[in-house]
Chain A
């Protein structure tokens, strides 16, 4: 273990970190665009461009937005499978130390990897078809030299039971399982080392509704029993509203709005959030939305974003200021952040559904 050599530092305001597991400050991830044979760097894709948020232990933080908004890139930076370009990722260990993960080398990162696990979207490609369920779930234990073979088997069978599968399944291969069962196997593997934070990238979007409900319930149960915090990346706003305690709405790499899901839904404070809510399909035919659509156009290319507020070309409320001046993220109520110049003047419409 290299934990001695890890630079343990305090976050800017340690009081703010009291029950925060993770505190992300000004996270940026730029990808260079290369052109031609000598691979000149011609421009930057600003996939994540200044993201700040925090997660308390036992809390679920949702990250939503259209594809290309940077939500997956952000989630991968947190687990350091992508190197952040700039910014800090303060992580609070079980012992109470606060570490900036963004500053660690990959080898310094190793001891923290057990605390931060990942659940993938596609349960069909995320499990190695040549490994048995035992090998898949026990792999983190083996890699980290946790227990002998017997102990590992005990651990795997208790994990399987924990996620609602029979321990006898551990000798089978992934092909024998349905999508929902595979997702449970992925969750069991993520739980193997008792993580404090699980980053889940669209964990239920490939599942049928009835199975989706089972997996969401399982995740909620694990959270209340084990106090795990989740970063839940999703595009389905109703799922996010159901499972998350707080939601970050992202647009082209930046924060549009942060708030608790009920507030966001009932009274959005950013026109983009309003547009996302108005695009949701009706929950019954009498509330059909046809003809009421306000949002046109597409997400701009993050390599060449518009001036000012990135949302202004699609925003029905845009004024001159929005075209010129990039808005800052402001806290308008405790815990409620928005990056719209005109929040105070606008009466945005949410949804009661």
Chain B
């Protein structure tokens, strides 16, 4: 397996405190890497650094050996598609128009869509089950439908690397496992490398080859889910005790949240 991403000693901050500090990471070609960690542990920043949307103050983010900072946006977008946590569309674009924008890197000049663009966009919409919404405007969709539209756009981009930030947030149960099913299938059939930030430890545990557990801007543990998701590690990084057993179908770690005690006098009378 070749190294796809190489992060060397990457530090990043927006203002004063470091969001990420001394972060080193290798992502192999064709793996599914899950990035987990508590709120504010630097997951989203890490993903944006990998997508080239943020530049580290220290260290280097390399993609296939070249520094992401030196790659022009067009070249970057041919290699990497990013699904952000939230998307806002101000103007009344339809689902079809938005998914077709994923074809930008493959178009030239004035850029009217080719038959190939339409075919791929249509297919991406069918995979994400938004094809029946194609002529609806983005604003008229529910949160989950919007999110699936944005994922469909990333699929239409046809990149060898997919970065996803909380792809299952807003989604109902069926679409949660559907998304991971699609990622798994892309990974197997097209050898797509997937980096997925997730709050859902159970889904990450089931579907990811490897997990990166971030703690206060630093990698705390990296490895297969069964090594990373332990009671001890989660106590340190998330600050709570969880129950862990094996998933009845896959045998991967299954996390169950304990019942929290009522906290008297927390809410003033």
Instruction: Decide whether A and B assemble into one complex.
Output: no
The interface of chain A, by Cβ under 8 A from chain B, is: none
